[in-house]
Each structure stands twice: as C-alpha cells, then as structure tokens.
Amino acid sequence: MAFFFARPARDAARSMPYNGAFFRFLPLMPDAHALLQTVFGYPAFRGEQAEIVAHVGGGGNALVLMPTGGGKSLCYQIPALLRAGVAIVVSPLIALMQDQVATLSELGVAAACLNSATAPDEARDITRQARAGTLDLLYVAPERLLTPRFLDFLNDLNIALFAIDEAHCVSHWGHDFRPEYQQLGILAERFPTVPRIALTATADEQTRADILHYLRLAEARVFLSSFDRPNLFYQVVEKHNAKKQLLSFIQQDYPGASGIVYCLSRKRVEDTAQWLVENGIRALPYHAGLGHEVRDRHQREFLREDGVVMVATVAFGMGIDKPDVRFVAHIDLPKSPENFYQESGRAGRDGLPAASWLCYGLNDMVQLTQMIEGSEMAALQKQVELSKLDAMLAFCETAACRRQHILAHFSEQSAPCGHCDNCLAPPITFDATLPVQKLLSCIYRVEQRFAASHVIDVLLGRANQSVTAFGHDKLSTFSIGRELNQRGWRSIIRQLVAKKLLQVDIARGQSLVFGDGCRAILKGEQKIYLRPPADDKKSRSANTDRWLRTEREERLWQMLRRWRKSMADEHNVPAYAVFSDKTLRELVEKRPANRAEIGRVYGLGELKLARYGDALLDILNEASQSDD
C-alpha cells in the first residue's frame, strides 16, 4: 500500500488518479457495509440505501426515487465497487460529473469522466484504463454514450452496471427535458445482462411512468423513499421590502454561510447580488444572460469556496451537489410546488440543519399569472401552470404544518413536523367575517373593476386622485376599514385569493373580482376565519440549531477550515470533497487525541485517514496547546 499513499496527492485531483482502486488492496472481497465504512467513512446506510445496493449489486434493475440529499450516489457507487468491471454513469452536466469524480478521487476510488472538455490524450488514457479494467466508474454525457463509436467501445468492456442519473430528464413533464435521454433504452437491448439503475429526485407519477417506459425499466424494482427532508426548516414571510428582509435573514441566521437566493428575473438577480455585496455579503449573480465564462467562474467559486451566496434565476441548480448549502431563499414566488421543492431541496444535503426561506407577496402571484397568461403556451398547458401556481399559493398561506402540506402535495401522508414556522408558532386564526364583509362590499361597490391597492385606499378613507376621480370617496364603504392598516388588508386579500373567494382579473387591470362563496359571507350565512398578518419582530429564527462555538472551538474550527481550503486548492477540488462540514464539526466537538479516536469520526474513511490523519491530529494538538 505504501507506494499508493506515497503518490503525490495532486494526482488525486486528476480524473484518472490511480492504477486501480484503493479497496482492491484490501485482503478480502469487501462487502457493501465494509466499503461504506472503509472507503466513505460512514457508519451506516441511510433509508433504503442498503436494500438498493444489495439489489443492484446482485444484478437487479432499479428505479430510485429519493429526495435531494437522500444519498442517491452511493446507491450506484457501492455496487460499482462490489461488481467486477467498470460502472458507466450517465449524467447530464459536465459540472456534475467533475464534482463526483473529484469527490470519488479524494476517497481513492478510480473514477473518471469523458465529456467535451476532456483533452484527447486524457480521453485516450481513460479509455485505455477502462479496457484494462482498472477503472471503477466512468461518467459520460448521454449524447456521447449514444454515438456508435462509444457504443462499440462499450462492447469491449466488462461493465459492472449502468447508472442513469437525473433520470427525470427523459420526461417532457420534468423541468429538465433532454431528448437524448429518451434513447437510453438502447442499453437494455445492447446489454441485456448488465444491471441498470435510474435515479431521480422528481417524484410525480407522470415522470416516473416516463422513466420506466423510455428507459425500458418496466420490470425494475422501484424504490420510493420518503420525500421528507427532516433537517430543512421551512419558513414563509410576507414581503414588504424583499432585499432588506433577505439581508437581515442572512445576517441574523446565516452569517458567513453558503446559500442560494432565487429570483424571478435577471434584473432582480443583478440588483439583489449587488445589494448584498454592498452590505458585506460575498454574493455572486448567475443567470442565463451572463456569458458562459462568467457563469462557469461563479459556479466554480460557489462550489469551491466557503460561504458564497449565489443569487440566481432557476437557470442555476440542477446537479449542484454542494452538500453544505445552509439556506435557500426565494425572494419571489416559485411557480409550482415541484419547483419550490427542488430548489429548496438544494439546502442541507449534508443532513445538518438548513433553511428554506420564502418571501412572497400578492404582486408575485399577479406577476406570475400574467407571465403564464401572456405566454405562447397551449390553453391546456396554461391551465396546468395556473393550477400549479394556485397550489404554491396555498402552501404559502396555509396555517397548518408546511412540511405536511408539501408532502401531501407529493401524495405522502405525514403528521405535523413540529419544527416549521407554523408548527413552532401556530398562527392563531381569528373570526374575520366582519372585515371580510367590509372588503367584499367595497369590491362590490367599485363594481369589481379595481385592483387591490385602490380598494384598500377606499377602505382606509384615502381620498387620493384616483379615488376622487371615480367618486369613490362618496361610497358608503369609504373609510369603513380603518381598524386595519394597508398590510392587514393585503394579508386578508391574499388569503381570500388563496381560498379562491377572490380572483385577480389580470386582463382587466388586476381587478379584484368575486369567486364562489362570497355571497354567503356577505349575507352573513357563513363565517370565515383567517390568520392575522405576520409580525416580523415575532417571527422565529430559521436557524433553530445554531451551533454555538466557544472561543476555543471557534479558533479550532477556523484553523480546520483554513487547512481544508489549502488542501482543496492543492488537490484542485472543492473544499467539501476534502471533508464535509459535518466531519469538521465532529473534529471540533470530539477533539480526538489519537489515531484510534480519529478513525471513528464521520467521513474519515481509510484513505482519508491515512492521508490526512496525522495532519489533523497535529492541528488538534496545536490547538489544545494554544488553549493552555
């Protein structure tokens, strides 16, 4: 083994680091559990991982539906190590492949990727090693895999398995449709005896059916995990000044942490990123209008550095495997619960507490409705999009558990979670019948032809130009709503829209018009209960598990982070490929003093232990000396 560890560490960063994998040197044929511990440094499989690994390792086909951060990669990586031959992993994005290869290389697993960025001599080297049987995993883009040349090359190989990552790309229904994915069924024909495993975090029925159909996995075993993300804290806040609210959220709850901020438009991305930078936050913009080069640079920086906040449109995200993203903030309403779930799910893949923070207002709803109505979509598609938007609004306005609500959207039953914003501070609903009656009669008096802001002006008795121009200062409802302020009325209107008692007529200047059920309330036949407008000052901190470090812990933490950064730079890999935050945290908390103790720390497999164990013990030692 000596020669193996003596190799310059920098080699590890290259796509083809070793002449064979580390575990080949283990004395016995390792079982799955031993691989998990020795190679990955994890004590136990999570959820259905063990069963999936056994099934695929034994030659079975599988479809794996698991939420982001659930640990899909291990489901094919361990079978790849268990089975003879090279595993071919189909992956849609270069960045995603490079990331996986970097992480695997750091673990001593022989992994490589072939894509348009691979230099020809490097590609030759990789194919040679695949033929020689010294490669464990080979990542490749679908368009390359499907070329006759590559399929011929595969014929010469001993193939352990095929893994098709981000398998929802086969479906028109999915958000990342890729036509080439639909042709991957050819693998079933060409390599009928090689097991195939498709993986995705998209759960809906239609996408699932498409995957099984196009990838010819009808006979495959389906592993459907719970889509719950227990470490995510869900919080929705009412928008009044989104940028300011965002800034104080970051400053209070996640100073110095990595995060993603999603915005609806490019302009808003630019503005928000600039605002954060001006306020001392390391933020970078990302949207499709930026040049390739800039986007790549920002993405790289976000992945590699600690504590960068990426402000982005939805163009950013697929395949972002960064495990230590501490928060995902939406400062505009996502257009569907599916989008929201995918995007917010990019937080906390490492299992440590993380937050989904959503800031929304009625205007978001109006703007998105306008975008859908004004688009080129077919009428039926518009209907679908509008109903998804309604579902999103319902999530925002619910007074019940957020988690329960979102899981129910994915047909999963669950009990209230006890740690979302609504569970922690249950909104107390109040009998809003009287104010709602006032609002509805005011809407009726203005003949359902005016937008929310005008109606509120009338209720509050503001005789401004527009109100007087239409003679609305003479209405019986003028000034009858002074018991609430602007925000209070907006909150009521939003809730009524969410309940479909009101509609916003986009085509007619966003007028508020009656939905079903208004008359019963107006006539006093039906009571209505609503939640009061949220009080910002009372809102819970999203960061429910702030890890409070003592001064000496903080010093050690910073030392370890600096050291990790220097290792990452030296190996040319992201910091988290060296060690996750969770590992550093355990090092700080447990302060292992010797080899035996440090070997039990999370994420320290045998290679990392051999490579970094002494350096870490030195740092720990140094830290405790300076404590004295």
Q: Is residue 349 a contact point for ligand ADP (CB under 6 A)?
A: yes
> How big is the site for ligand ADP, counted in residues (CB under 6 A)?
17
If phi > 0 it is left, if psi is from -120 to 50 it is alpha, else beta; for residue 602 that is beta
Locate all alpha helices (DSSP H) within 398-534, ordered by sequence.
Answer: 402-409, 421-424, 433-445, 452-460, 465-469, 486-498, 518-522
Q: Is residue 608 a contact point for ligand ADP (CB under 6 A)?
A: no
Locate all alpha helices (DSSP H) within 313-432, ordered by sequence.
Answer: 337-344, 362-373, 379-397, 402-409, 421-424
For residue 428, the SS3 value is: coil
Site string for ligand ADP, 540-579 (x = CB under 6 A): ----------------------------------------
Q: Is residue 45 a contact point for ligand ADP (CB under 6 A)?
A: yes
Q: Is residue 70 a contact point for ligand ADP (CB under 6 A)?
A: yes
Site string for ligand ADP, 93-122 (x = CB under 6 A): ------------------------------
Per the document, the length of the chain is 628
Stretch that binds ligand ADP, among 70-78, 273-281, 295-303, 374-382 (CB under 6 A): 70-78
Q: Residue 89 or residue 263: which is nearer to ligand ADP going by CB?
A: 89
Query: Percent helix, strand and coil across the chain, each rounded to 5?
Result: 50, 10, 40
Binding site for Zn ion (CB under 5 A): 401, 403, 417, 420, 423
Q: Is residue 350 a contact point for ligand ADP (CB under 6 A)?
A: yes
Query: Strand ranges (DSSP E) for 145-263?
Result: 159-164, 196-200, 221-224, 232-238, 258-262
Q: Residue 97 or residue 420: which is nearer to Zn ion going by CB?
A: 420
**Beta carbon of residue 215, minimum distance to ligand ADP (angstroms, whole number):** 18
Q: Residue 73 or residue 414: which is nearer to ligand ADP going by CB?
A: 73
The C-alpha atoms of residue 274 and residue 311 are separated, in whole angstroms, by 10
Q: Residue 78 or residue 368: which is nearer to ligand ADP going by CB?
A: 78
Q: Residue 87 or residue 530: which is nearer to ligand ADP going by CB?
A: 87
**Token couple for 7:** 């190799």
Q: Residue 324 or residue 421: which is nearer to ligand ADP going by CB?
A: 324
- Select the binding partner of residue 423 from ligand ADP, Zn ion, none (C-beta < 5 to 8 A, by kind): Zn ion
Strands of the sheet containing 221-224, edge to edge, are: 111-114, 137-140, 86-90, 159-164, 196-200, 62-65, 221-224
Q: Is residue 323 a contact point for ligand ADP (CB under 6 A)?
A: yes
Q: Is residue 66 a contact point for ligand ADP (CB under 6 A)?
A: yes
User: SS3 for 76-119, per residue?
Assistant: HHHHHHHCCCEEEEECCCHHHHHHHHHHHHHCCCCEEEECCCCC
Q: Residue 201 or residue 420: which is nearer to Zn ion going by CB?
A: 420
Which residue from 71, 174, 353, 605 is in contact with ligand ADP, where contact means CB under 6 A? 71
The C-alpha atoms of residue 493 and residue 336 are separated, in whole angstroms, by 21
- Select the binding partner of residue 403 from Zn ion, ligand ADP, none (C-beta < 5 to 8 A, by kind): Zn ion
Contact 617, 594 (CB under 8 A): yes
Which residue from 30, 57, 69, 79 is in contact with ligand ADP, where contact means CB under 6 A? 69
Stretch that binds ligand ADP, among 71-79, 117-125, 418-426, 527-535 (CB under 6 A): 71-79
Stretch that binds ligand ADP, among 63-71, 446-454, 470-478, 608-616 (CB under 6 A): 63-71
**Beta carbon of residue 423, minimum distance to Zn ion (angstroms, whole number):** 3
**Beta carbon of residue 41, minimum distance to ligand ADP (angstroms, whole number):** 9
User: SS3 for 521-586, per residue?
Assistant: HHCCCCCCEECCCCCHHHCCCCCCCCCCCCHHHHHHHHHHHHHHHHHHHHHCCCHHHHCCHHHHHH
27 burial (CB, 10 Å; 0-12 / 13-18 / 19+) is exposed
How many angstroms separate the first and last alpha carbons of the chain? Answer: 38
The C-alpha atoms of residue 453 and residue 441 are separated, in whole angstroms, by 16
**Beta carbon of residue 428, minimum distance to Zn ion (angstroms, whole number):** 16
Nearest residue to the partner ligand ADP, using Cβ: 71
Q: Residue 284 or residue 325: which is nearer to ligand ADP going by CB?
A: 325
- Select the binding partner of residue 552 from Zn ion, ligand ADP, none (C-beta < 5 to 8 A, by kind): none
Residues that bind ligand ADP (CB under 6 A): 42, 45-46, 49, 66, 68-74, 321, 323, 349-350, 580
